[in-house]
Amino acid sequence: MSLAPSPLAMVPFVSVDHMMQLVHHIGLEKVLIDIAAELEKDYKRWELFDKTPRVASHSDVGVIELMPASDGEHYGFKYVNGHPSNTKQGLQTVTAFGLLADVRTGYPILLSEMTMLTALRTAAMSAMAAKYLAPQGSKTMAMIGNGAQSEFQCTAFKALLGIENVRLYDVDSKASEKCAANLANSGLHVSVCSSSEEAIEGAQIITTCTADKQYATILTDNMVGPGVHINAIGGDCPGKTELHKDILLRSDIFVEYTPQTRIEGEIQQLNSDHDVIELWQVIAGDIAGRSSDHQITLFDSVGFAIEDFSALRYVHDHIKETDYYIELDMLADPDDPRDLFGMLERAK
């Protein structure tokens, strides 16, 4: 006997294909602008959220993490991995999926792929932070590390800040060629550089996004002059950094959630009492972001669960009345909530 599932048991599921269709339906730059607006809105109500550092399971080859957050009305989490050596097997370094639920019932209201969505929200977050931290009128960004995130970052900075020029560098020249080819019709002027030093020439914004799970020095102290904004997004777990410690000592450092960033970010190199500013304080107007032309600002970004929450809520709101999802029969819904066994028996 086959029983039709109740509508209450059905949960919208957004596949990778659906996510790509949704992005093209809305427009990539519009999606990045929209997600940045959702992020900004949620950062302004930061204090309302339940917050916790992500729960991480580390191995010699990577990390698997759960990232939960709730605003009291909705609860969301993301499952995400980070395995830098995956590319050698033709696999993604980062994959993810996420869930959004109704706090009142505990019922899921959205299940979604988040590999593509994480790339979108990470880029939107970088550009949103740069609105407050980068020099006004910035036109040139160095993009060091040209893997899966690089094109999203460049597009977001163009859409939100008006960046016109991007200077690419990667230790793997094929990655830079890939990035340049993907951005050929973006409206950006793209230069492929032969070194990090060449890439940062004339750049007001420097984005670092490398994947190796190790202490690394992508930028040395002598490479960073006054007045630049550094968007450091590659260091995101213990033992993984990109910047020389001396750069941090000369910079005003902005983070998402201090307890998590002290474990995972560039500031793991510093004493635990070193002053940092949480970005929500800048967005709320409590603390200044960029305050002088000579200031070096550093966004030590490791990714935080509220950002995934914002992105999931955006997708949930925008798939309504579209065909960009399917419904999954995920939840048992017996006629009598106390009779789960009877539901099983009647399904014979």
Instruction: Give me the mean pLDDT over the 36-47 stretch.
Output: 98
Whole-number Å distance between alpha carbons of 56 and 65: 4
pTM of the model as a whole: 0.93
Instruction: Give me the mean pLDDT over the 314-332 stretch.
Output: 95
Active site residue 275: no
Given the structure tokens 């509220």, which residue do they identify?
Answer: 306
Instruction: Give me the mean pLDDT over the 14-27 stretch.
Output: 98
Q: DSSP letter string over 305-344?
A: HHHHHHHHHHHHHHSTTSSS-EEEE-S---SSTT-HHHHH
pLDDT digit string (tens) for 242-264? 899 999 999 999 999 999 999 98
Whole-number Å distance between alpha carbons of 60 and 75: 31
Question: How open is the CA angle 315-79-328, to the nearest 5 degrees?
Answer: 55
Whole-number Å distance between alpha carbons of 175 and 151: 11
pLDDT digit string (tens) for 178-191? 999 999 999 999 99
Question: What are the backbone dihedrals phi and psi of residue 223, each rounded to the nearest 5 degrees, phi first?
Answer: -85, -20
Of 71, 170, 236, 252, which is the active-site residue? Answer: 236
